[in-house]
Amino acid sequence: ETGVTQSPTHLIKTRGQQVTLRCSSQSGHNTVSWYQQALGQGPQFIFQYYREEENGRGNFPPRFSGLQFPNYSSELNVNALELDDSALYLCASSLGGSPYEQYFGPGTRLTVT
Amino acid sequence: GIQVEQSPPDLILQEGANSTLRCNFSDSVNNLQWFHQNPWGQLINLFYIPSGTKQNGRLSATTVATERYSLLYISSSQTTDSGVYFCAVPFLGGYNKLIFGAGTRLAVHP
């Protein structure tokens, strides 16, 4: 059974640029959630995708957007990067909505300069 | 919304010691997860425990849903137990959003 994978591992971008992060869900999982974790804090929910539709969103601006593909993999896109977007971005997959257990990938560490 | 509080925020142990980490939550939940975040940032699932007690090796967890708290016990701690421990509960709004506490930072010294 393949776990959740994410790419790239690390990324350095300049303020104002755009970035795309990728996530492959665990085998058999149809739901992907994205979280942002700033240094020293717990992860914060960005949004969730279920069967290629966004079905829940946290307090993040529209420049954070995403996609889910038919194979349930997902992308997180962030436009007009700001310095405060520097964080660890975590992807989680699950069999469905609450209360299914979520499994996390290793994360992508984004640095915005 | 639901609030999650973890205590203590920091914990320093000598190898071999036991410890108890606490997670309080402000509303009824149908799910609770404990995670260990290693130094590389990976969140590792420890327990999925909406109620009752579970054990996995040196770790065990108990959730008392009616009193809105969960406890994580670590026995005979090892240096590899170091890292941050998070508890997380779901937002009951129809989608699987986890709300995390601020974490307990554990350092185990040899």
Below-50 pLDDT ranges, chain A: none
- What does the pLDDT read at residue A2? 73
Task: State how far the alpha carbon of A4 is from the alpha carbons of A38, B2, B22, in Å.
Answer: 21, 27, 28
What is the distance between the alpha carbons of residues A62 and B15, in angstroms, rounded to a whole number? 47
- What does the pLDDT read at residue B95? 75
Q: Nearest Cβ partner of A56 from B30, B86, B97?
A: B97
Cβ count near A28 (within 10 Å):
10
- Residue range B37-65: mean pLDDT, rounded: 95
Q: What's the mean per-residue pLDDT of chain B?
A: 94
Cβ neighbours of A97 in B, within 8 Å: 94-96
Cβ-defined contact of B91 to A31 (cutoff 8 Å)? no
- Residue range B10-26: mean pLDDT, rounded: 97
Parallel/antiparallel/unpaired status of strands B19-25 and B33-37: unpaired
- What does the pLDDT read at residue B82? 96
What is the distance between the alpha carbons of residues B10 and B15, in angstroms, rounded to a whole number? 16
Q: Cβ of A62 under 8 Å from any chain B Cβ?
A: no
Q: Nearest Cβ partner of A98 from B41, B43, B92?
A: B92
Q: Which residues contact B35 (CB under 8 A, 6 or more apart)?
A: A104, B43, B44, B45, B46, B85, B86, B87, B88
Comparing C-alpha atoms, which of A74, A93, A99 is closest to residue A20? A74
Parallel/antiparallel/unpaired status of strands A108-112 and A10-13: parallel
Q: What residues 3-32 of chain A have any CB closer than 8 A to a CB of chain B? A: 31
Q: Which residues contact A103 (CB under 8 A, 6 or more apart)?
A: A3, A4, A26, A29, A92, A93, A94, B45
Task: Please spell the DSSP secondary structure of chain A, one letter per residue.
Answer: ----EEE-SEEEE-TT--EEEEEEPPTT--EEEEEEE-TTS--EEEEEEETTEEEEE-S--TTEEEEE-TTS-EEEEE-S--GGG-EEEEEEEESSSTTSPPEE---EEEEE-
- What does the pLDDT read at residue A49? 94
- What does the pLDDT read at residue A98? 66
With cut-offs at 50, 70 and 90, classify the pLDDT of residue B102: very high
Contact A91, A34 (CB under 8 A): yes
What is the distance between the alpha carbons of residues B23 and A36, in angstroms, rounded to a whole number? 21
- What does the pLDDT read at residue B77? 97
- What does the pLDDT read at residue A1? 60
Cβ-defined contact of B97 to A103 (cutoff 8 Å)? no
What is the distance between the alpha carbons of residues B19 and A91, in angstroms, rounded to a whole number? 30
Q: Nearest Cβ partner of B93 from A33, A56, A94?
A: A56
Q: Nearest Cβ partner of A48 from B41, B42, B95?
A: B95
Percentage of the residues of chain A whose pLDDT score is greater than 90: 87
Tokens of A105: 């990938």
Cβ neighbours of A104 in B, within 8 Å: 35, 42-43, 45
pLDDT top residue among B96 and B109: B109
